Amino acid sequence: MYKYIARRLLSIIPILLLTIFIVFVILESTPGDPAMIILGRDASPDALNALREELGFNKPMLLRYLDYVQGIFTRFDFGESYRSKQPVFDNILVQFPTTLKLAIFSVIVASIVGIPLGIVSAVRQYSLTDVALTVSALFLASIPGFWLSLLLVLFFSLLLGVLPSTGIDSWKNYILPVATLALPSAAILMRITRAQMMEVWKQDYIRTARAKGANEWRVITKHAIKNALMPVITIVGMSFAGLLGGTVIVELIFGMPGLGNLIISAIKLKDIPIVMAGTIFLSTLFMLIMLLVDLLYAFIDPRTKSQFKR
């Protein structure tokens, strides 16, 4: 298992190098001069050239990329924000807790809602309950996040006035953002859980358990769920990892100072160190979470331990 973990951790390095290069190319292709954005359009050419020299923009892109990578791996230096003149991780670590809370609350709500409803839908296959849940899941899975968030704000904040639409002052501020993120994820989890339960429902060991006299509740809880939830765990892990970097629209609409909002603001201002560090941070988190999901398989299904011995 330790060799497997070591290989997975080492594989993060080339993926990050490729990610950094791709983001570098994208930022290089976008219009805008960071020096002019920082100093303003009225700045003198000498001041602009001096700042470009200080920031390293007079060097070719490939050299800047190599300098940046060298700084990360030799000094763990991700640079300073062009705007705040502070180390980029000082900005990221201040705003990341808001994004982390949104992701954790959303994946918990999505799991609590989606997985049980998927089991109910599979057990009552083709019934009115199954049809209603399936239609609702398809609707929620296909609805755009920005539209759902605006509908929730319109109904609960403007019409009813029961929930705040912006800020992070209290737990009530998280209800609408979490609902916006959790409902589509719950719909996807419900559909996947239903499909897996229906597949497990056809297996021989389920028929054997019934033939031995086990009631439906015991068949579901002791035999079906454990085997059906293996792929669902992967989706939950991917949903959580994706939510860490996918809360941008929600943070913008609900005015929440999270990491997504920080990166979007940095892109507008072409604050390259913030964009790069935020991308590296989220990419690393995603890969570590997926590694944890793979390791979790070994505790749920001992048969998967064999892959860790290779």
CA distance 255 to 166: 5
Report how many helices (DSSP H) and strands (DSSP E) the chain contains, helices first: 14, 0
Domains parsed from the chain with CATH numbers:
95-266+284-309 (1.10.3720.10)
* pTM tops 0.85, yes or no: no
Which H helix or E strand runs over 61? helix 61-75
Residue 80 phi/psi, 5-degree rounding, is -115, 150
The string of pLDDT tens digits covering residues 188-247 is 999 988 888 888 877 777 777 777 777 777 777 776 777 777 778 778 888 888 888 777
* Angstrom distance (rounded) from CA 82 to CA 269: 9
pLDDT recorded at residue 104: 92
Q: What is the pLDDT of residue 43?
A: 79
Instruction: Compute CA 295 distance to the chain's CA centroid, rounded to the nearest angstrom.
Output: 19
Q: For tokens 């403007």, name the residue.
A: 158
Phi, psi dihedral angles at 42 (to 5 degrees):
-85, 0
Cα angle for residues 174, 179, 180 (degrees, 5° grid): 105
Q: How confident is the model at residue 298 (pLDDT cuts 50, 70, 90)?
A: low
Q: Which residues, 6+ apart, have CB-to-CB distance to 138 below 8 Å?
A: 187, 191
Beta bridge partners of 87: 80
Segment 142-156 mean pLDDT: 88
**Residue 61 near residue 28 (C-beta atoms within 8 A):** yes
Residue 156 burial (CB count, 10 A): 17
